[in-house]
Each structure stands twice: as C-alpha cells, then as structure tokens.
Amino acid sequence: MVKNRRPAPKADPLRSEAAARARSVTTWALLLILLVGAALRLAHLTEAPPGLTHDEAAHLQDARRIWEGARPIYLTSGYGREPFYDYVTAPLVGLLGMRVYTGRFSSVVWGLGLIALTYLALRGPLGRSGALGAALLMAVSFWPLSTSRQALRSITMPALFTAAMALIWRGMYTGRASHRSTPRTRTAPYIGAGVLLGLGFYTYMPARAVWAVPVLFWLTLAWTDRSRFRAQWRGVVLMLVVMIAAAAPLLIYLARNPQLEIRVSQLAGPLRAAVGGDPGPLLDRMGEAALMFSHRGDTHWMYNLSGRPLLPLPLAVLFYLGLALALVRLRESGPRLLLLWLLVGIAPALATGLESSSLRAIAAQPAVFGLCALPFGEISRWAGSRPRLLAVGRLSSAVLLLLSVWVAADTVRTYFVTWADRRDVRVAYYAHLAAEAAYLGEEAPAGLVTISTFYPSRPHDPATMEVLRGRVDPNLRWFDGRGALVFPSSKGVRLLIPSAVPLDPALEGLVAAHAIPLGPITLLPTDLVTQVTVLEWDAEAALTAVLARARGPVGICPGGGLPPDPSCRPLSLPVELGGRLALVGYRLLTPTVRPGEEVALVTFWQVHGPAEADLVLFAHLLEDESHVLGQSDRLDAPAWNWHPGDVFAQVHRFPIPVDAPPGRYPLQVGAYQREDGARLPVLVVGRPADDRVLLEPVEVRAP
C-alpha cells in the first residue's frame, strides 16, 4: 500500500527569477573581483619584488628538474621542503622556460584561485554578500597580494585547504542532517576533502596542522547540533582515512629520513623548551605575534615592510569587530567555523614568532578576511529580511566598496612604491644580481666571466643568476673576492666586482696591472651594492706574473711530525692533493709577526675539475704536533665551480694570540671534505704520503 505523499510546493516564478538574478549578479561580481586581483598581481611581476631570492630560484630549478624527469617526494634545497609547488610549476617551466616570470605567474594563478575558493568556502558560513566581501578584501589587500607574487610553495597550501573546507561544508550542510541523507551526498565531499588535505602535506609545513579545523568544527556540533554531529561522524572519519592515505608516502619518507627537515629543528626550539618545562620562549613568541594583525606584523623585509601590521587600520578595526561578533554568536556554525579556522591558521606563527609570520599564518587568510567582512554580511542579511531597510543594506555594500577602493590604493602605494624600493627589500631580493644578469643578457657572453659575490655556493647566487638569465652558463666563474680570486685559463676575461664584495687587498694588485676598466653597472645610491665594477682582464698574464713571485719551500712530515723530524722531506711545486687540485705557489705576506697581530697568507691552487664533495682549505700555524696556535679554514672559490686548468688564489688571515711566546712556528696547509672532515692526501709519485703540506715557518717576535 502506497502512502499518500504531500504534493511538492509549486515554484514561485518571481522568487525563482530573483534568485537567478542574484546568482548572475554574484557571478559577475566575483569575476570583477578576480579581474581586479589579477591586475594587481600581474603588474610589474618581475620588477616588484626587484630581483629574485635564493628560495625562488631553488623552486624554479627543482621544477625544471621535474619537467626533465626527476620525481622527488621531498626536496633538500631550502633546508628541506615539500615538492607540490614544484610539480605544478614544472609544466609552466616547460612551456615558458626557467624564468622569474614563470615562477611568479604560477603563484599568481594559485593566489587568484584562493580568492575564488574563499568565496566558495565562505558562501555557506557567511552568505553570498559576506563571502563576496571577504573575496574582495583579499583581492586588494597587501598581505594576500604579497604572498601571491612570490615564487614560493606557501601559496598552494591555503588554496588546497580552502577547497577542502568548501567540500566539508557541503558534506555537512547539503541535504538533511539526519541519518537518512543519501550516502553519496555525505561521502563524496568528504573523500574529496580528504584528498585535498592529504595533498596539502606536500605543499607547506603548516598543512600538517590545518586538518584540525574540520575535526574541531565537527566536535563542536555535539554542543550545538547533536543530530548533525551523529550523522556526520562517518564522513569525518572517512576524510581522515583518505587524508592519511594520501599523505602516507611523504610521512613514511620523512620518518625514515628525519635529518632532512632542517627547518623543523631550527624552529622547534621554543616548543621543545615548553615540553621540557620552560614555556618562557614559547610564550614570548606568542606574545609578540598575537597582535600581528593590528600592531606589529612580520619583521622579514622579504615579505613585508618590517613590522607593518598584516592589516591596515580600517581592516584591523573590522577584524576585531568581526571577531567580537563571532564570539557573541559562537553557537552559530558560520562564526564558529571562522574562529576555529583563525586559531588553527595562525598557530604556526604564534609558535615561531613574528619573522615570516605572513607566510606561516597564510592558512588563516580566508578566515581573517571573512571576519573583516562579517559585519557587512550581517548588516546585509539583517536589512534584507526587512523591506523597509533595504537602503541600509545597499549603504553597507557601498561602504564596503569604498573601503576596498581605499585599501587597493593603500596597497598599490605601499607595495609597489614604498616596499619595493626599500633598500632592505632590494638587498633581500639581490637587486645587484638582477642588474648583473641584465648586463650579461640572456645569450652566452663572448669569453669567460668571473663574478665576485656574497654567496658563491651552487644553490645560492649562481642558481639565482641562472633563473634571472633563463639559462645555465658554463662560462661563469664564481668566487667571493673578499677571500679568493679565480684565474680562468683564458686571456679575454671579464671581471665583475660589486662594491660590497671587493677584492681582498692582497688580491687587488694581482688584477690592477693587467685589467682595463669598462663601464660600471650603476645601481641606486641607497643600495648595499651601489655599483658593480666591470674589468677586461688578462688572467693568463696576471697568473704568469704572480706565480713567478709565489715560490717558497714546501715539504711533508709523514706520521704527523714537525721539522727537524728525520721523517720530514722537501717537495717541489706543484704538490698534488687527492687528484683534485695542486698547490702551485704561495706568498707568506707576514713572515714575521708579533703577538696580537695577523698572519696573512695567499695560496695558489690549480684545479683538475669540479669536486663532488664540498671542500675546505685549511691553513694552520702549529704550536706543536697537536696544538694549533692560529688557523683559517675556508674556501671562497667553491669546488662545484672548478674547471680544469683554472687557478685560484685563496687568502688566509688569522690572529696570533696576545700571549704567544716568541719563536718559529711551522705553517701547514691542505684540504678536507666539509661533511666528514676527511683530508685529501698529499700525493707523491701518485701515492699518498701525508695529509698536509708544510710551508715556510712564521716567526713570532717578542712584543
């Protein structure tokens, strides 16, 4: 027997037409918001920020390797990081090349996606007007603009998480809350959310905590909506199972290789102290970061005007007003979700302090701007239910629109003028490297180019230069002129010397007599590097002249002895070390010193090719066989950039203790591997004979 069913209510044509009109207006408004956001994010994309950071360069190089076939599950560059951003950027690198624009354009796409997803995720909790307000404020504010214009992995995390939250809301509030809801309605959104949350583990470290937002929100339903709490538990459990399954490969890999996460150990100090019974450091960091939205924000110039609050004053006022309103209406699902989202999203910044907080709190962006828009959404909803007060709703929307125009103008001025031109920002983004890259151009320069730089190791300035020029150039030689100078085996060599990385005085004379000045590269007078001197240098002639004067006695004492031990014997230059390089000469600039003065030594080395291991040169003044009176361990012409036939000079300077007794002290040099300290053997007739070379002794005279 079929029960009589109540006939379905007839559709109201006027109401349906109004709903369709509202949807159309909303769609066009969202598109306009995205267009405004795109205009701000694409403008001067390669000039602001004015250069490129090492982290951005590392992302683009890893994306290129992925495009060429690499399949890393975790990346060791940048103190260890997740690979999702590099995988999604790899097709763009394949299409557009390894360039600054490519990486930043990838971030722009994800930033625009975050704006759209913020609307979708907050449409249920806040209503259409509140969600549109949050998206609009995100589109024009400094904080989301900044995080959307840097080629960094952090931007992918909030986008995936916000998409997951949109699905979770759909899973909890689509259909009836009882157990009679269809399995598909309850299951599919949770599966999708679990996949997105699991993928989030591959984006940025704070993603490992944000899954707590939906779980905590579901738990609060036991207080406000018990029937929905009971009906949704299977979906929440399913979401967690799918999330863990998606994240399992990375979690297992990191569990087996915990040493890879260097950044975790660097930032976890206060947490470890709190667990150990000393909450002071953690409380200090939480205290300084608690008011980052209104009083003092991120102190890192790379991401913010140092100390500038993450919100301008009008938005900060709205944020606290929305926060108070959400607390008053805590029993309602929308405000409660925003509060939980905010708390979990800013937790990483609270634990680590203000520096880089604009990145570490990035998951909270939708919640923060949702709270800013909450008062306007409430006014619109309240006025919309009262026909006589429709004008109040329209006035509220007009105020929000005018406020967004002011915020956009403030953002343009602050970001593109004030921030981008600040000296500290130009230093952080290595503006002088960008100027050098523009000078060299995209094509290979005629002849070899030697460049003095702050950070000549492979992942730093050289990698940044490759991305700035869009190519790998084997004709570049990298060194830090404050300690080294490379002599390429070529006559026509250009030498670039930034004003802040000058040649050591002991090296200046090796260049001046054989160089012709070319036009300098000029930067801003307020920059750290105000100009780059460009020289046309005859490196071969300079090397021939210097080696004629860089001679002196050398020898070995197998077994660790010192002269006049019978085992000691003289050698002739060059002296081979481990088949990697050979000592071809040296100049002891201070054969006699007094206590408290400085020993100055320049050694000259010919290389046989790049070394796989990271090497260090040492120069030790020995008090006896087991005690060092003074030392200098460094290598300012890194081994990764060695080319067969090239020669480099390394300067060693170290002080003599003020209480050193007078006498003649043996001086030894050699090389070792940085990783394990193993010394390269001194080869005599192709066989290891010692692990150091003894040079002319240094005489310490009485004070």
Coil/strand/helix, residue 532: strand
- The whole-number pLDDT of residue 448 equals 92
The verdict on residue 110 lying in a domain is yes
Query: What's the rounded Cα separation, in Å, for the pair 33 and 469?
Result: 34
* Look-up of token digits 């004492």: 557
Query: CB of 365 within 8 A of CB of 310?
Result: no
Q: Please indicate, yes or no, whether residues 64 and 187 belong to a single structural domain of this protein.
A: yes
The verdict on residue 154 lying in a domain is yes
For residue 133, give both structure tokens.
């307000």
The verdict on residue 144 lying in a domain is yes
Domain boundary at 524, 547, 570, which?
547
Q: Please indicate, yes or no, whether residues 213 and 341 belong to a single structural domain of this protein.
A: yes
Cβ contacts of 81 within 8 Å, gap of 6 or more: 74, 75, 153, 263
Rg, the chain, Cα only: 32
Query: CB of 103 within 8 A of CB of 89?
Result: yes
Query: What's the rounded Cα separation, in Å, for the pair 41 and 145?
Result: 6
pLDDT below 50 — which residues of the chain?
A: 1-3, 176-185
Q: Please indicate, yes or no, whether residues 628 and 515 belong to a single structural domain of this protein.
A: no
DSSP class of residue 473 equals: -
- The whole-number pLDDT of residue 179 equals 41
- The whole-number pLDDT of residue 687 equals 93
- Name the average pLDDT for the chain: 90
The verdict on residue 46 lying in a domain is no
Q: Please indicate, yes or no, whether residues 411 and 466 belong to a single structural domain of this protein.
A: no
Q: Please indicate, yes or no, whether residues 377 and 440 belong to a single structural domain of this protein.
A: no
- The whole-number pLDDT of residue 625 equals 79
* Look-up of token digits 């209503």: 127
- The whole-number pLDDT of residue 611 equals 82
Query: What's the rounded Cα separation, in Å, for the pair 277 and 664?
Result: 53
Residue 594 vs residues 95, 107, 586: alpha-carbon distances, Å: 63, 58, 21
For residue 103, give both structure tokens.
């990486």
CA-CA-CA-CA torsion sign (330, 334, 335, 340): positive
Query: What's the rounded Cα separation, in Å, for the pair 384 and 376?
Result: 12
Q: Domain limits at 159? A: 55-258+289-424
Coil/strand/helix, residue 302: coil
- The whole-number pLDDT of residue 442 equals 72
Domain boundary at 364, 397, 424, which?
424
Write out pLDDT tens, residues 569-591.
Answer: 999 999 999 999 999 999 999 99
- The whole-number pLDDT of residue 181 equals 44
Write out pLDDT tens, residues 150-209.
Answer: 999 999 999 999 999 999 999 998 754 444 444 444 789 999 999 999 999 999 999 999
Q: Please indicate, yes or no, whether residues 629 and 488 belong to a single structural domain of this protein.
A: no
For the chain, the domain total comes to 3
Q: Please indicate, yes or no, whether residues 403 and 509 belong to a single structural domain of this protein.
A: no
CA angle 620, 623, 627 (to 5 degrees): 75
Phi/psi for 182 (5° steps) reads -65, 145
The verdict on residue 15 lying in a domain is no
- The whole-number pLDDT of residue 384 equals 59
Q: Is the peptide bond before 574 cis (omega within 30 degrees of 0)?
A: yes
DSSP class of residue 16 equals: H
Q: Please indicate, yes or no, whether residues 501 and 619 belong to a single structural domain of this protein.
A: no
- CATH code, 633: 2.60.40.3880
For residue 518, give both structure tokens.
């070319």
Distance from the first to the final alpha carbon of the chain = 116
Amino acid identity, position 34? L
Q: What does 559-625 look like in DSSP terms, one character per residue?
A: TT--TT-TT-EEE-SSEEETTTEEEEEEEES-SEE-TT-EEEEEEEEEE-S--SSPEEEEEEEESSS
- The whole-number pLDDT of residue 441 equals 86
- H/E run at residue 272: helix 269-275
The verdict on residue 17 lying in a domain is no
Q: Please indicate, yes or no, whether residues 537 and 559 belong to a single structural domain of this protein.
A: no
The verdict on residue 443 lying in a domain is yes
Domain boundary at 501, 525, 547, which?
547
Q: Please indicate, yes or no, whether residues 496 and 453 belong to a single structural domain of this protein.
A: yes
Q: Please indicate, yes or no, whether residues 122 and 67 belong to a single structural domain of this protein.
A: yes
- The whole-number pLDDT of residue 183 equals 40
The verdict on residue 264 lying in a domain is no
Q: Please indicate, yes or no, whether residues 623 and 593 belong to a single structural domain of this protein.
A: yes
Write out pLDDT tens, residues 172-188.
Answer: 987 544 444 444 447 89
